[in-house]
Amino acid sequence: MTRPAAAPDLPAAGPPGERRAAPGPRRALAAASARLRGGDLGIAPVVAGLVVIWTVMQLLNPIFLSSANLTNLALESVPVGVIALGVVCVLLVGQIDLSVGSVSGLSAAVLAVLFVDRGLPAWAAVSAALLLAVAIGWFYAQVHNRLGVPSFVVTLAGLLGFLGLQLWILGSKGSINLPFDSGLVTFAQLHFVPPWLAYTMVAAGALALYATGHARASERRRAGLPAPSWRTPAVRSLALLLGLGTAVWYLNRDRGVGWMFVLFLALVFALHYLLTRTRFGKAMYAVGGNAEAARRAGIDVKAVLTAAFVLCTTLAATGGILAASRLAAANQSSGGGDVNLNAIAAAVIGGTSLFGGRGSAFAALLGVLVIQSISSGLTLLNLDSAYRFMVTGAVLLLAVALDSAARRSRAAHGRA
Amino acid sequence: MSSVPVPVPVPAPPPRPGRGGPLLSLRGISKSFGAVAALTDVSLDVAAGQVLALVGDNGAGKSTLVKVLSGVHPPDFGTIVFGSRTVTVPSPAAARQLGIATVFQDLALCENLNVVENLYLGRELRGLRLDDVTMEVTSRALLDELSATIPSVRLPVAALSGGQRQTVAIARSLLGDPKVIILDEPTAALGVAQTAEVLNLIERLRERGLGVIMVSHSMAEVKAVADTVAVLRLGRNNGVFDASDATASELVAAITGATDNVVSRRAGRPAAVPPETAVPPPPAGADPDRSPRS
């Protein structure tokens, strides 16, 4: 139980760039491996899992890694991925939202009714659906904050209630088709980034990564803080350029990169910035880690919870709108079936802790790629949803088991 | 308790080693919760550069007094003079604004965040594009100033020992540049070495010219670092002692309200522990789960 015995090896276990530590790739590698052994797994397991899944699926069916299938896979991932982004937000503050599927289905129904039946312009219908979602998130937060009802129960009620509302709004027809020539449908189905623009965006992204990395490193060096070496930002930027460049080239052999996927990436980056570089983001991690400490530090915990719930339901509605656009229809099963559980599973598989205070926006991206890869691969093998559910369930169990094991290991290494 | 209470409600003498007059003066503070009078007519003075130990048995009103000062429970009656002004402390934020920082016993740190993030929690620089370089430089400088033994400010708090966490909590309260710092049982859950570390830290706070109010149960620690000892008993002042003159048995007598008490009887037994180390049992409120983490 005594700390001093373990204290001497702390510096070695710390992040790269300790005080007075010589920076360098070997040092960074050693620090990374120490972090892994200490139970700070980060995105390593999900990336490894993705590689395994892709390898197995490719061996079973050579079409899996074809440009055409990957283009589809990217587009299919977006609706659930956007919903998973919202789930990351509530999980981070130590809450849960079980109603993301129902809320996404409800907003799809609202969109379709207003846009098709009432003839409102697309922007108005989308805004109305999003506003309704904001109101739902606000309502959850009020019930949770004021009455102290656990979010599990509030959102379970929401799951049922808003599914009912969705069915009621859709009426006896039960299904509304969106016109194929509408902007929503063409955006989700037909709009791809022209190759020159895709390459330009990749180059701009790599350049921006280098510029910010270089600027931060020099700022830290000027301030006398440990900083990564001059090479690090360049190496990272080059890796991004080559990796994304290859991906874009490969997808461009088919239809290319869908604008919808670009929208998803933009949302991921926006949420990542919000979580890591703003006061609000730190408040979310603090509330998830120790709500009482956050309150004493002057953070308005209830406001943070409200924001997290509103972010979640709004992103769920966005996912629902994108799903309806991609399907060109809203029906009684919109947001039903496995959408709910896939979104939550994606966030958890990507490395967001169910215990709060741990996770990142990239968890949603990586997690949804895992889930959609399983789904796409099994569909290519003509295996129906029975197998899909079983495999996804196994992967989810594996991910949570890994999270729990990592948590124990962190506790053993004093990093709980 | 059959013995006669010791009637020593002494008016607070002028603080001895302090620089100048009292920085913070409480006069006639009373606080009731329903029918329970937690504090009755309590007076207290602390000067800049003075360590005032606040001692008393469980239920003596120490915690209530700390909460009055930190703005958690505003007092029913009485005046608080801070500097030369009479002030009210209606909320924790108001206390911080005045320059009264409180480190509560449970520290209130977020274990999933690193040291810098904890120090600046809720008051990060540049909210929309965090200035982590300045925050890290300031944190490091502050911890170095306190001679803290924290290996890296980018370690999560979960990786720190109990003493290091106490240091982080104290450093956090110093960021607001307070005049008075209140430590609620800073060593209650710590081991021997970590306790010494925290006591050193308290001495450095005194050197910085802060007024320090330390709630403690350990007579040895009180004698080791405090300049003045104020005793509370049943919600009332029960004597103010000079820490260098008072003996532990005098303090225990004032705390228990009896010269013949369980502690002195224990001390009188053959083969009993010497009075210097006779320490009352830990407070009932101390959570046994909060032992120093490994």
Q: How far is B218 from chain A (nearest CA, A)?
A: 21
Is B271's pLDDT higher than 80? no
Which of chain B's residues have a Cβ under 8 Å away from the Cβ of A278?
A: 127-130
Distance from CA of A224 to the nearest CA of B (A): 8
Q: Which residues of A touch B136 (CB under 8 A)?
A: 223, 225
Q: Interface pTM (ipTM) of the complex?
A: 0.86
Where does a domain end: A257, A280, A310? Answer: A257
Nearest by CB to A416, from B113, B129, B158: name it.
Answer: B158
Q: Are A95 and A201 within one domain? A: no
pLDDT tier, B4 (very low <50, low <70, confident <90, very high otherwise):
very low
The Cα B196–Cα B200 span in angstroms is 6
For every residue of chain A, which 3-state class applies, written as one string? Answer: CCCCCCHHHHHHHCCCCCCCCCCCHHHHHHHHHHHHHCCCCCCHHHHHHHHHHHHHHHHHCCCCCCHHHHHHHHHHHHHHHHHHHHHHHHHHCCCCCCCHHHHHHHHHHHHHHHHHHCCCCHHHHHHHHHHHHHHHHHHHHHHHHHHCCCHHHHHHHHHHHHHHHHHHHHCCCCEEECCCCCHHHHHHHCCECCHHHHHHHHHHHHHHHHHHHHHHHHHHHHCCCCCCCCHHHHHHHHHHHHHHHHHHHHHHCCCCCEHHHHHHHHHHHHHHHHHHHCHHHHHHHHHHHCHHHHHHCCCCHHHHHHHHHHHHHHHHHHHHHHHHHHHCEEECCCCCCCHHHHHHHHHHHCCCCCCCCCCCHHHHHHHHHHHHHHHHHHHHCCCCHHHHHHHHHHHHHHHHHHHHHHHHHHHHCCCC
Say if residue A354 is exposed, middle or buried (CB neighbours under 10 Å; 0-12, 13-18, 19+): middle
Sheet with B77-82: list strands edge to edge.
B36-47, B22-33, B77-82, B85-87
Residue type present at position B57: D
Contact across the interface for B193 and A297, Cβ inside 8 Å: no
- At residue A40, the pLDDT reads 66
Q: Output the CA torsion A284→A285→A291→A297 (10° steps).
A: -80
Q: What number is the average pLDDT over the span B100-114?
A: 90
pLDDT at A145: 96
When scoring B118, B133, B135 by the number of chain A Cβ atoms within 10 A, the one with the most, hence best to mutate, is: B133
Chain A residue with the nearest C-alpha to that of B193? A4
- Give which of A90, A164, A94, A162 is closest to A129, Cα–Cα: A162
- Whether residues A243 and A279 fall in one domain: no
CB B240 within 8 A of CB B10: yes
* Per-residue model confidence (pLDDT) at position A212: 93
B36 vs A: CB within 8 A: no
φ and ψ at residue A76, rounded to 5 degrees: -60, -30
Which 3 state secondary structure label does DSSP give B270? coil
- When divided into structural domains, chain A yields a total of 2
* Token pair 């730190």 in the structure block, residue: A282
Q: Based on the domain organization, do A313 and A211 belong to the same domain?
A: no
Asked if residue A329 and residue A224 are part of one domain, the reply reads: no
Please count the residue pairs, one from chain A and one from chain B, whose beta carbons lie less than 8 angstroms apart. Answer: 129
Beta strand pairing call for B228-233 and B51-56: parallel
pLDDT band at B13 (very low <50, low <70, confident <90, very high): very low
- Token pair recorded at residue A237: 């930027």
CA dist A320 and B194 (Å) reads 54
Query: pLDDT at position A295, please?
Result: 87
The pair of structure tokens assigned to B98 is 């005045």
How much is the pLDDT for A38?
60
Which of A204, A222, A257 is the last residue before a domain boundary?
Answer: A257
Same domain for A333 and A414? yes
Q: Does B130 touch chain A (CB under 8 A)?
A: yes
What is the number of helices (H) and of strands (E) in chain B? 9, 10
Residue of B91, B111, B121 to mutate, testing the A interface (most A Cβ within 10 Å of its Cβ): B121
Structural domain includes residue A15: no
Q: Do the Cβ atoms of A376 and A76 come closer than 8 Å?
A: yes
Residue A25 within a domain: no
- What residues of B are in contact with residue A410 (Cβ under 8 Å)? 158
Once rounded to an integer, what is the mean pLDDT over residues B109-128? 92
Phi-psi region of B177 (alpha: psi -120 to 50; beta: other; left: phi over 0): left
Q: What is the pLDDT of residue A39?
A: 61
Q: How many CB atoms lie within 10 A of CB A351?
A: 26
Residues of B in contact with A216 (CB under 8 A): 133
Tokens read off for A286: 């603090």
Please state whether beta strands B85-87 and A329-331 pair in parallel, antiparallel, or not at all (unpaired).
Answer: unpaired
Residue B169, min C-alpha distance to chain A (Å)? 11
pLDDT, tens digit, 9 for 90 and up, residues B72-87: 888 999 999 998 899 9
Which residues of chain B does A224 touch, with a Cβ-Cβ cutoff of 8 Å? 137
> What residues does B87 pair with on adjacent strands?
B80
Q: Where are the domains of chain B?
A: 22-246
Does B292 contact A289 at a Cβ distance shorter than 8 Å? no
Q: Which residues pair with B253 in a beta bridge?
A: none
Q: Which member of B117, B129, B294 has the closest CB to residue A3?
A: B294
Tell me the C-alpha distance between A49 and A62, whole Å.
Answer: 19
Chain B segment 199-238 residues within 8 A of A by beta carbon are none
Q: Residue A272 is part of a domain; what is its CATH number?
A: 1.10.3470
**CB nearest to A286's CB, from B92, B106, B110:** B110
CA-based max dimension of chain A: 71
B161/A1 Cβ within 8 A: no
The reply to whether A235 and A349 lie within a common domain is no
Residues 258-287 of A with CB under 8 A from B: 277-280, 282-283, 285-286
The predicted structure's pLDDT at residue B274: 52
**pLDDT score recorded for residue A174:** 87
| A286: chain B residues, CB-CB within 8 Å | 110, 113, 117, 121-122
Residues whose CB is less than 8 angstroms from the CB of residue A395 and which lie 6 or more positions away in sequence, other chains included: A49, A345, A349, A370, A371, A374
User: What distance in Å separates the CA atoms of residue A52 and residue B269, rounded to the nearest whole number?
Assistant: 72
Cα separation, B231 vs B68, in Å, equals 17
Considering CB atoms only, which of A1, A11, A416 is closest to B151? A11
* Residue A34 domain-assigned (yes or no): no
B137 touches chain A (CB under 8 A): yes
Q: Is residue B267's pLDDT more than 80?
A: no
| Rounded Cα–Cα distance for residues B172 and B177 (Å) | 10
Q: How far is CA A261 from CA A84, A88, B115, in A?
A: 14, 18, 37
Q: Quick one: CA dihedral B108, B113, B119, B121, positive or negative?
A: negative
Residues of chain B in contact with residue A413, where contact means CB-CB under 8 angstroms, are 159
Shared domain for A149 and A287, answered yes or no, is yes
Q: Does B196 touch chain A (CB under 8 A)?
A: no
Same domain, A176 and A203: no
Helix, strand or coil for residue B202? helix
- In the listed set A206, A232, A257, which residue is the last one of a domain according to the structure? A257
Same domain as A411, residue A297: yes
Q: Cβ B294–A2 below 8 Å, yes or no? A: yes
Residue B226 has pLDDT above 90, yes or no: yes
Contact A349, A395 (CB under 8 A): yes
- pLDDT in the model for residue A228: 87
Question: Which of B112, B151, B293 is facing A358, going by the closest CB pair?
Answer: B112
Cα gap B146→B144, rounded to integer Å: 5
Q: Are residues A253 and A266 in the same domain?
A: no
The CATH number of the domain covering residues in B22-246: 3.40.50.300
Each residue's pLDDT tens digit in chain A (416 positions)? 333 333 333 333 334 334 444 455 676 677 777 666 666 667 788 899 899 999 999 999 999 999 999 999 999 999 999 999 999 999 999 999 999 999 999 999 999 999 999 999 999 999 999 999 999 999 999 999 999 999 999 999 999 999 999 999 999 888 999 999 999 999 999 999 999 999 999 999 999 999 999 999 999 999 989 888 888 999 999 999 999 999 999 999 999 999 999 999 999 999 999 999 999 999 999 999 999 899 888 899 999 999 999 999 999 999 999 999 999 999 999 998 889 989 999 999 998 988 899 999 999 999 999 999 999 999 999 988 888 889 888 988 988 888 788 778 777 776 55
Residue B196's region, left for phi above 0, alpha for psi from -120 to 50, else beta, is alpha
For the cut 90, the answer to whether the pLDDT of residue B288 exceeds it is: no
d(C-alpha B230, C-alpha B211), whole Å: 14
Domain residues for A208? Answer: 192-257
Enumerate the residues of chain A whose CB falls inside 8 A of the CB of residue B110: 285-286, 289-290, 293-294, 357
A334 and A249 co-located in one domain: no
Same domain, A159 and A207: no
Nearest 10 degrees: Cα torsion B251, B252, B255, B260: -130
Q: Are A298 and B123 within 8 A, CB to CB? A: yes
As given in the structure block, the two tokens for residue B97 are: 């604004």
